[in-house]
Amino acid sequence: MKTKTVLAALAAGLLSTSAALAGDVRVMWYSDGVEGEVIQDLLNRFMEQNPDINVILDNVAYQVIQEQLPIELEAGRGPDIARVTNIKALAHHWLDLTPHIADPEYWRTNLGEQFDWMRPDGSDAIPGFMTQLTLTGGFANKTLFEQAGVEIPGADATWDEWVEAAGKVQDSQQLNAAFAIDRSGHRISGPNVSHGANYIAADRTPAPVDDGVKAFAAKLVEWTESGRMNKETWVSAAGTTYRAGAEDFINAQIAYYYSGSWQIANLSTKIGDSFDWVATGSPCGPAACSGLPGGAALVGIKYTQNPDDVGKVMDYLASEDVVREFTERTLFLPAHKGVIAGPIDFKTDDPNVKGALNAFVKATTQVHPNAGALPAWKWGSAYYGALVTRISQVMAGELSLEDAYARIDEDIAAQVAEASK
Amino acid sequence: MILAPVGWLARVLDPPLRALQRVGGRNGMAIFFVAPNMLIFGIFVLIPLVINFAYSMTGGGALFLGDRIFVGGEQYGRLFDCGNYLEPNSCREDLFWTAVWNTVFFVVLQVALMVGVALITALILNRDLKARSFWRAVFFFPVLLSPVVVGLIWRWILQRQGLLNYMIYELGFDPINWLVERNWAFAAAISVSVWAHMGFYALILLAGLQAIPKDLYEAAEMDGTRPARVFWRITLPLLAPNLLVVLVLTLIRAVQIFDEVYVLTGGGPGTSTLFITQYIYEVGFASLLRNPGLASAASILMGAVLVVLTLFQLGIARRGERRSAK
């Protein structure tokens, strides 16, 4: 106990972000696009209405959320509220807002569908709400397809058909590659499920690599070897290092890009009117045409000294009008049922954006249950990390596919065993 | 006038220091003066080292040492669980051994290149060049850059659509995927790290060159000694202490290589530039399911290798000193 206290004191002294003082509510926030400015604007309005509560918004890099916040939380410290994506694995650090919010029933009715994503299994806590829902999916460079005289594949097109069509564009327009997928185990999990994969065993432990994973992994490797998939994105890094393929799509170096709905604002801003692009949902496999749902949640931290103030801030940010404004200005997909039901007037002049948002909303109806279960499954991160590490080794010629499958199973088993001690 | 405050301070401190000396004697005073430095060293080096070792004997997902499970040498056993150490794929922690061998090759090649280039640069900068100060500043400038900036600059230059490929294309040749081809990426990692740090080591060697008495060269010139012989018989032996310092520093830094290469190649293509520090970082911090025990065990092993290398080099240096004394 003494050791723990001494270490906690040391950590407290060393860590940069400290819990807020009485009357202060400190929010740790990361941004992909303009949402940092939007939330600051909304919080300024809250502070005008609630002069006794001072909300401090710490805009940090995503890496800080991923790497430093968990350490702060383990030390029993951290901000009062945080925007996070590693929602399930850290669920034991989130504050149950139920006694601190005005109307828990409002939360359960409008935002409750994703509560299991962010609370320990079996809990009925209200830890926070999703600031955005995301869904993995593809984007096609419409202009390049038109210039190549290749028809954009239809809604039920398979992965093979998409790669073939994008390959024709690549050959015609002399592109470096036909398509790219972000270097991330998360990103290939929707396609894996579409090929029949199920990561979750009956006892909710990680299942061994199955035929679905093997089918899509083999295709990825083949497409990389043939030059259809952009080699640079996956091969030029080791381990779990994230690499996005967005820049190649933005620079019209590829015809097709598989990423997710969170890229819409980024693509709109950076592509402008350089070329036309469309969102395509997820290509099909033999089992489904599924993307992987997910998103970023805003959660209260249970180590806060001001839980009632945190409750007030969260009540304000989760209110329907505020969520609607946040959604319309950030171009994110909302998780609030009331907002989804009502009209959403996305604030953009870009004609590509509204079509893209509609395409992703439509694609949410095609999410396979095996993909829908992953955000609420605590071993998802272990699976994603092992997939990206080993498959990229195969692409680089360091492992055979069979060796990679064995290694993926071993890596996941080792991580689960270590974390379960 | 300027020294007045110093004098005042000396007068104030004199009585307690004299009292301290009466109690502790001369040796006690030495300990007293060294103590602040040792305290800082203890807090920031020794204690973390002990804590790191303690972590390496634990397992589980908890962060705090007190909450972790004692597993003895299990993490070390895991690292050494190997069919053939020369064949990483036969090892349980294949990425660890891949990183170990990558680091060994990197150290051998980078240290040789770094010392060689730094020596040549120092020899050139020691000559009567026009704008000599300017050239010294040019070679030293990369040392002032943050490793992340170095990595980013070279990534922009070397990526498929980078500056270098643009020039190659303009000259009518096929572009090369520098960061995706294994050998090119490894060569790039070495070259960039040499570029980034060479100025510092050249400066140390330059200081050594300037400390060599000029009359030795004048005597050699009067004797008609050939320049190559002057270099081997005068410059190199008298520069040996500086070369040893450069060798030790370069070697330690090469084993610890991480930041600029991580930004440049991310450890790829595949795992061809995955070095031991990146492995430790990935296992201990970057992975969403961290394993601080395994990362600590790997870092303790890396530290042990560095200690052995440093002692070996110091041994060589002392043997050289004894020979010189004879």
Q: Do B177 and A231 touch (CB under 8 A)?
A: yes
CATH of residue B212's domain is 1.10.3720.10
Tens of pLDDT, residue by residue over A280-334, are: 999 999 999 999 999 999 999 999 999 999 999 999 999 999 999 999 999 888 8
Domain of B22?
4-56
- DSSP code of B234? I
Sequence ranges of the domains in chain A? 2-133+294-351, 135-293+356-419
Can you tell me the ipTM of this complex? 0.82
Number of domain units in chain B:
2
Specify if B211 maps to a domain. Answer: yes
Put simply, the chain A residues between 78 and 97 with a CB less than 8 A from any chain B CB are 86, 89
- Residue B267 and residue A3: Cβ atoms within 8 Å? no
Q: Nearest residue on chain A to B155, judged by CA atoms?
A: A236
Looking at the structure, tell me whether residues B79 and B31 fall in a common domain: no
Q: Which of residues 120-159 of B touch A (CB under 8 A)?
A: 159
Which of B74, B166, B174, B271 to mutate against chain A (most A CBs within 10 Å)? B271
Binding-face residues of B in 301-320 toward A, CB within 8 A: none
Read out DSSP for A117-171? GSS-TT-----EEEEEEEEEEEEEEHHHHHHHT-PPP-TT-BHHHHHHHHHHHHH
Partners of residue B182 in chain A, C-beta under 8 Å: 396
Q: Closest residue of A to B159, CA-based?
A: A232
Digits of tens for pLDDT over chain B (326 positions)?
667 888 888 889 889 888 888 888 888 888 888 999 999 999 999 999 999 999 999 998 888 888 899 999 999 999 999 999 999 999 999 999 999 999 999 999 999 999 999 999 999 999 888 888 888 889 999 999 999 999 999 999 999 889 999 999 999 998 999 999 999 999 999 999 999 999 999 999 999 999 999 999 999 989 989 989 999 999 999 999 899 889 989 998 999 999 999 999 999 899 999 999 999 999 998 877 789 999 999 999 999 998 888 888 778 778 877 776 76
Question: Could you tell me the two tokens for B133?
Answer: 């100060």
Cβ(A224)–Cβ(A317) below 8 Å: no
Q: Is residue B64 in some structural domain?
A: no
Measure A390 CA to nearest chain B CA, in Å: 9
pLDDT at B326: 67
Question: Which residue in A221, A62, A208, A209 sits closest to B270, CA to CA?
Answer: A221
In this structure, what token pair is assigned to residue A205? 């432990």
- Decide if B288 and A418 are in contact by the 8 Å CB cutoff: no
Contact residues on chain B for A67, CB-CB shorter than 8 A: 285-286
Architecture in CATH for domain A2-133+294-351:
3-Layer(aba) Sandwich (3.40)
Superfamily, domain A135-293+356-419:
Periplasmic binding protein-like II (3.40.190.10)
Cβ separation of B288 and A235 shorter than 8 Å?
no
A94 vs B199: CA distance, rounded Å: 50
Instruction: Determine the distance in angstroms separating the CA of B161 from the nearest CA of chain A, rounded to an integer.
Output: 10
Tell which A residues from 144 to 163 touch B, by Cβ distance under 8 Å: none
Q: How far apart are CA A239 and CA A236, in angstroms?
A: 10
Residues within 8 A of A (CB atoms), B 204-263 only = none
B63 falls within a domain: no
**Closest chain B residue to A233 measured between Cα atoms?**
B180
Measure the CA–CA gap between A114 and A133, rounded to whole angstroms. 9
**Tens-digit pLDDT profile for residues A19-30:** 445 579 999 999
The total number of residues shown for chain B amounts to 326
Assess whether B179 and B46 both reside in one domain. Answer: no
